[in-house]
Structure 1
């Protein structure tokens, strides 16, 4: 029988997938300002496969499930996004391999592992105008909420607020990594598409969390 935290994990992955599908054009338009405009398309194609093959993924434990998702999206997401997002899922899943239940502190540790994987894979860090600029503050907010004994709903809301604020703050940054970095100072004035995607995903989670199964 699926544990509550396993069910929540599935819910989060499904929400990420659907949000990326629903925002394919919006993410692509944002990326086209200083990038090649394929970010939305790439994410959508990867998570389209996740949605299509949803029932076939190995659910023997949470870690295995997340790593199977990683393989699926990495094989279909093009450009640099595939390795980056795939690495995030692989690292997060690896931390809870063999587990069918996780705690709030486990979630924080999984996100920290994903962040370190993204840093290594993309040779990037906070301040380079990438998804890390939203993902790290979001994780910090989750850690603070968990430590304070907040409910899961309160924690998701705090994460969404932090991610949006951080994503908006990338507008004034100079891109140092990715295709946007090729545009130099033209990258200043628009937010990073990856950071915005993190914010939009968390805002979607926040809006549906109370109604999850």
Structure 2
């Protein structure tokens, strides 16, 4: 895959644009089972991210991702700020001061992000959270890499698994966060965190596909 820091920066900008375009959809999902602010908060956070990294030269990917983390933690309200902030922080810590990453690096960065989210949110798969889209996606990415699929195929399979995991949150009773207060009534609703996680992974795949042509 071999993405350099400048390419990763452009992907982050695309994520910010995508979140802004979907902020009302994500907020509507959250209004059904949560505080009703997920999309608006995420958009605000990623606008702050753009401001934070716009002058970054991309020579130190880990440092850039830590800037993303701090902007999200400072600007995204509710649980999403600490969780997404932790994800980018852990990914940045793993990659360190490298200037480019491979598909294997990407897998390890996502795995570190997942472990950080699970520790911070004390969440496991099957509890109607972002873990339900992220964990199956990462597992699929590992299998695809091990089976030596080409990089775009690996990313596509990963995104398809994230989508299935996201869609399955409709069938899960929420046990975390504000949605847990609804109990059985949370069934039939998508988890907004699982949706935003899927959309981020999908955007990364689409942008890598453009870069690699």
Q: TM-score, normalised by structure 1?
A: 0.91
> 1:58: how far off?
6.3
Distance 1:212 1:100 in 2: 16
Aligned residues between the structures: 211
Aligned residue number for residue 191 of structure 1: 190
> 1:150: how far off?
2.4
Please, which runs of 5 or more residues in structure 2 have no aligned partner? none
Task: Return closer, same or farther for 1:175/1:212 CA change in 2, 3 Å cut-off.
Answer: same
What is the correspondence of 1:126-165 to structure 2 with a 5 Å cutoff? 126-165=125-164
Identify the range of structure 1 (13-22 vs 109-118) with the bigger mean alpha-carbon deviation: 13-22
Distance 2:83 2:75 in 1: 12
Aligned residue number for residue 92 of structure 2: 93
Question: Given that residues 45 and 75 in structure 2 are in contact (C-alpha distance below 8 angstroms), is that contact kept between their aligned partners in structure 1?
Answer: yes
**Aligned-residue CA RMSD in angstroms?**
1.8
Specify the SS of the correspondent of 2:16: helix
Distance 1:104 1:208 in 2: 14
Aligned residue number for residue 102 of structure 1: 101
Question: Given that residues 61 and 98 in structure 1 are in contact (C-alpha distance below 8 angstroms), is that contact kept between their aligned partners in structure 2?
Answer: yes
- After superposing on structure 2, the runs of 4+ consecutive aligned residues of structure 1 that deviate more than 4 Å are none
Please, which runs of 5 or more residues in structure 1 have no aligned partner? none
> 1:37: how far off?
0.6
Aligned residue number for residue 19 of structure 1: 18
**Could you give the per-residue CA deviations for residues 104-143 of structure 1, whole angstroms, max 9, x where no partner exists?**
2221111111111111111111111100000001111111
Aligned residue number for residue 9 of structure 2: 10
Question: Given that residues 15 and 201 in structure 1 are in contact (C-alpha distance below 8 angstroms), is that contact kept between their aligned partners in structure 2?
Answer: no
Distance 2:4 2:139 in 1: 20
Question: Given that residues 58 and 68 in structure 1 are in contact (C-alpha distance below 8 angstroms), is that contact kept between their aligned partners in structure 2?
Answer: no
What is the correspondence of 1:54-133 to structure 2 with a 5 Å cutoff? 54-57=53-56, 59-133=58-132
